[in-house]
Amino acid sequence: MAAIGRFQKGDDIFYAKVVEGEVYPVRGDVFGSPSFEKKPIKLKGVKTLTPVAPSKIIAVGLNYADHARESGKPLPKEPLFWLKATTSLLPDGGKIEIPFPHHRTDYEAELAIVIGRRVRNVTAAAAARYIFGYTCAQDISDRTIQNGESQWTRAKSFDTFTPLGPCVETKIDPHDLNIQLFQNGQLRQNSNTRHLIFNCFQLVSFISTNMTLLPGDVILTGTPSGVGPIQSGDRLEVRIQGLTPLVNTVK
């Protein structure tokens, strides 16, 4: 497998391998040992969904030192995480909706981990066996609410606040990838996953000691410095080396 997406044609929702603008539907369990249809389907007329439908979204905060500094917060001694509502998911091409236009609402580009196998209490050394792949994400954040509360779930769980996709790349090393966000064509965030305080394998290990992770679950690994406000009409593009870019607009 390589790039895997999730699509809808009519009433049919299906996983598929994506190759040069064509999709090859999956036979069997995409998280097991799937095979693929030999005849592709053209992407035209097919709706792109979020690449997985997770039972939960786990977001990790302050996982780049430069972002912790710009936020005025100390570096965490262990991963800081919370849950986001699955109803906040938004596919590639979808519109981010700002519920309170008088609030400051920020973009946050992130690398997302997609879990491939049920896992509990795994070591960092063995974590890669349980990872399905990686995709682009954003953790859109209502800063006005976030700065006024001691927990962050509400500020980050509004509908459309978790853009994700468009595809999961199953064959990539996550430890040295350039990560960027462009707002209306202007570069706003520019870093590399080697600057993560806790890397992908460490995050899966730590989170799995606190809860069981299921196939399709998503872990947002944190955002680098350069976060900023969004407004209606913006075009936001997350580019992560080796992954298909994630593009969304704002209304």
Digit-coded pLDDT (tens) for 183-230: 999 999 999 999 999 999 999 999 999 999 999 999 999 999 999 999
The pLDDT value recorded for residue 8 is 96
The pLDDT value recorded for residue 177 is 98
pLDDT class of 67 with cuts at 50, 70, 90:
confident
Residue 17: is its pLDDT beyond 90?
A: yes
Choice between 148 and 74, residue whose per-residue pLDDT is larger: 148
The pLDDT value recorded for residue 215 is 98
Residue 37 sits in which domain range? 3-48
Same-domain check for residues 42 and 61: no
Helix (H) or strand (E) holding 135, with range, is strand 131-138
Same-domain check for residues 96 and 23: no
| DSSP labels, 12-53 | EEEEEEEETTEEEEEES-TTSS-EE-SS-EESTT-EE--S--
Residues 68-76, mean pLDDT to the nearest whole number: 84
Same-domain check for residues 43 and 90: no
Residue 14: is its pLDDT beyond 70?
A: yes
Residue 170: is its pLDDT beyond 90?
A: yes
- Say which CATH number the domain at 29 has: 2.30.30
Same-domain check for residues 63 and 39: no
Boundary of a domain, candidates 11, 27, 48? 48
Cis omega (within 30 of 0) for bond into 166? yes
Q: For residue 185, how many other CB atoms are within 10 A of its CB?
A: 7
Same-domain check for residues 101 and 220: yes
The pLDDT value recorded for residue 1 is 61
The structure's pTM equals 0.96
The pLDDT value recorded for residue 242 is 97
Q: How many domains does the chain have?
A: 2
Q: What angle do CA 156, 75, 82 make, to 5 degrees?
A: 30
Same-domain check for residues 101 and 123: yes
Q: What is the pLDDT of residues 109-165, one digit of tens each?
A: 999 999 999 999 999 999 999 999 999 999 999 999 999 999 999 999 999 999 999
**What is the rounded CA–CA span in Å between residue 127 and residue 220?**
16
- Say which CATH number the domain at 113 has: 3.90.850.10
Residues 44-60, mean pLDDT to the nearest whole number: 95
Same-domain check for residues 83 and 202: yes
Please, what's the b/e burial string for 99-128 (b: 16 or more CB within 10 A of its CB; e: otherwise)?
A: eeeeebbbbbbbbbbbbbeebeebebeebe
The pLDDT value recorded for residue 116 is 98
